[in-house]
Amino acid sequence: MRIGKCGMSFVPVCDNNVRLTLTLDLTPPLPANAGVLDRWAAEPVQHIFLPASAFIENVKGYPVLPKGTQALIRQSMIHHPTFILSGVDSGIHAMGSESAYSQYVKHLEKTSPVVQAAKKEGTVEHFAQGYQDYLQNPLQPLMDNLQSITYQTFEQDPVKYYNYEEAIYRALVEWPDTERIVICVAGAGRGPLVSRSLKAIRRSKKEAFIYAVEKNPNAFVTLQGRKAKEWGSSVELIAGDMRRVDVPEPVDILVSELLGSFGDNELSPECLDGAMRFLKPDGISIPSSYTAHLAPLSSSKLYNAARESKDLKGVETPYVVMFQNVNILSGDGGGVAGRCGAKIQECWEFGHPSKDVTVDERGQTLDWSNELSLAHGETGLPLTNSHNVRSAKTTFHIPHAGVMHGLAGYFEAVLYGDVGLSIHPNRKEQVSKDMLSWFPLFFPFRDPLYLPSNSELQVSIWRLTNERQVWYEWYAESYLPVANASAAVEETEDTSGSDGPSFSSTSTYVAVPSPIVDAVDVFPLEVRPESRRGSAEVKVPCGVVKIGQTALHNPGGRSSWIGLT
């Protein structure tokens, strides 16, 4: 397959068969736009054909590749391709034997950022070896008790716990010196946040006490052992669900690590709704807020993995995935008409403590000094979960043609002040570099959706709930801009009237109309300011036509959901 040609056209014809692989032909010339080449990261590339004519001579006469080709090959190492060298015995370069070409390719492999990151301990790429592009079902933190091996995996993340310690330390330092500070770790697991809280207390030289709440009986046994051997009287353990148990006194700082790959997908909002009643009116929650983010994604490998089960549930379940053979299809810049958002867009935000939640009597009037009040039958939970419903509609610019197989989901969290956590591709290096605890979330589509160059993609996503569960629904529509050409004209008498046809000019380019004609006016036509009298550049309205859509996925939570009990 010539690299300059579109190999996507026959892949869907073969039903994305897993036995189908591609060989990239790097015979020059290659496309000048590097963005066109990104698509191959998402395709099943197994071989790369590299003729001697693709090489140029360096100052010493040895064969090397142009910088653009070097970058493409280094990135292609994610596929572990087999290289097919051709014409290396033709003698077209002054220096070097046939082996010079293969040695140079090996050099590119060794210097590939992908390969180097996988070999360096402490990086996400090294930690995740064997998990790349492997679909994992998200955790069910309320329905299930995590196994010890799961806790052990999370506890290997030094970056996350360092950031938590720093956030707790800063909150302690800013707390008034005259008061005894009470900290509650809600969902203590096997105790890593308790230990980090104690370190932060020692660093701050403040007087503080910790309550650790945990519902998992197996993890609670570990907490009891650590209290006896490490923590002593500085920590009090409380067994039970944070939404139903009580702590003996009001809390100044509430610490939790209930976040999921999409921020809220492991029910952090619902869990913390029940724990917020522990807080004093001026109390601090760590984290204080978190946001969910989306981007359109192409990956034939993930698409095939999602539909392996042959039933609807496989393609209507969000999966936790360490992305590797993927390509984010969206771009920055606003698109043809400037109405599109960023490459990766925010969907919604949750903040704690929430000020707009109505709770029952216990949550409003809990008397910490009255044992009868503590034993009262009300729960202190919100009357409904409707305040945790969210929805978003985002519009993406698609600069280069591609096939969308799903959506990539990310999160960012503010712990305290400017200390946070992030798996957002553009900000994770600055916020929490090499954090290991979370891989992105993958929302698959049942059927791939082809997106032409310079098209627009509108993604709708909902976070919905009832009394038993929380689930996501998602849907996408594609549009092609209908942009009228600008023309420099002399002012003439208007014979058509101000309400004349928008596309009547013979100089206007009109895209082929979509058969779904009722979608033409989904976006309002943008009428730009009229030109001044005399010779001027006239700009006319711009709209879109609908060219495709997906089905609504997971309506009513029919295939996937997170249980509240």
User: For residues 406 and 447, what is the distance between their CA atoms, to the nearest angstrom?
Assistant: 9
Q: Locate tokens 């001026």: which residue?
A: 282
Neighbours of 309 (CB within 10 A): 11
- Cα pseudo-dihedral 299, 304, 310, 313, rounded to 10: -30
Judge contact between 204 and 181, C-beta under 8 A: no
- The predicted pLDDT at position 9 comes to 53
Q: Which two tokens stand for residue 176?
A: 């008034």
Q: Nearest CA to 25 among 51, 56, 55?
A: 51
User: For residues 496 and 504, what is the distance between their CA atoms, to the nearest angstrom?
Assistant: 10
Q: Which CA distances in Å does 324 have to 11, 20, 55, 327?
A: 19, 18, 28, 9
Amino acid at 64: V
User: For residues 343 and 361, what is the distance between their CA atoms, to the nearest angstrom?
Assistant: 45
User: For residues 525 and 542, what is the distance between their CA atoms, to the nearest angstrom?
Assistant: 5
- The predicted pLDDT at position 11 comes to 62
User: For residues 64 and 449, what is the distance between their CA atoms, to the nearest angstrom?
Assistant: 39
User: For residues 120 and 446, what is the distance between their CA atoms, to the nearest angstrom?
Assistant: 37
Biggest CA–CA distance in the chain, Å, is 93
Burial of 29: CB neighbours in 10 Å, binned 0-12, 13-18, 19+: exposed
- Cα angle value 339/340/346 (rounded, 5°): 130
Q: Nearest CA to 481 among 547, 415, 418, 532?
A: 547
Q: What is the CA radius of gyration of the chain?
A: 29
User: For residues 502 and 484, what is the distance between their CA atoms, to the nearest angstrom?
Assistant: 8
Q: Locate tokens 């095939």: which residue?
A: 304
Judge contact between 488 and 535, C-beta under 8 A: yes
Neighbours of 79 (CB within 10 A): 22
Characterize the bridge pairing of strands 289-298 and 402-416.
antiparallel
- The predicted pLDDT at position 457 comes to 97
User: For residues 325 and 42, what is the distance between their CA atoms, to the nearest angstrom?
Assistant: 5
Q: Is residue 421 within a helix (H) or strand (E), and if so which, with residue range?
A: strand 419-422
- The predicted pLDDT at position 483 comes to 62
- The predicted pLDDT at position 372 comes to 33
Characterize the bridge pairing of strands 63-64 and 56-57.
antiparallel
Q: Which residues are catalytic?
A: 257, 266
- The predicted pLDDT at position 506 comes to 34
- The predicted pLDDT at position 541 comes to 59
- The predicted pLDDT at position 29 comes to 84
- The predicted pLDDT at position 114 comes to 87
Q: What string of DSSP letters covers 99-112?
A: HHHHHHHHHHHHT-
Judge contact between 277 and 363, C-beta under 8 A: yes
Q: Which two tokens stand for residue 128?
A: 């995740």
Judge contact between 327 and 300, C-beta under 8 A: no
Judge contact between 294 and 341, C-beta under 8 A: no
User: For residues 27 and 207, what is the distance between their CA atoms, to the nearest angstrom?
Assistant: 69
Local confidence pLDDT in tens for the 565 residues of the chain:
555 444 555 566 676 677 788 899 998 888 877 778 888 888 888 999 999 999 999 999 999 999 989 999 998 998 889 999 999 888 888 888 889 999 999 999 999 988 898 888 888 888 888 889 999 998 888 888 889 988 998 899 999 999 999 999 999 999 988 779 999 999 999 999 999 999 999 999 999 999 999 999 999 999 999 999 999 999 999 999 999 999 999 999 999 999 999 999 999 999 999 999 999 999 999 999 999 999 999 999 999 999 998 889 999 999 999 999 999 999 998 888 788 999 999 999 999 997 666 555 554 434 444 443 333 334 556 778 899 999 999 999 999 999 999 999 999 999 999 999 999 999 999 999 999 999 999 999 999 999 999 999 999 999 999 989 999 999 999 999 986 544 333 333 443 343 433 333 333 333 444 333 333 334 444 444 444 444 444 555 578 899 999 999 999 999 999 999 8
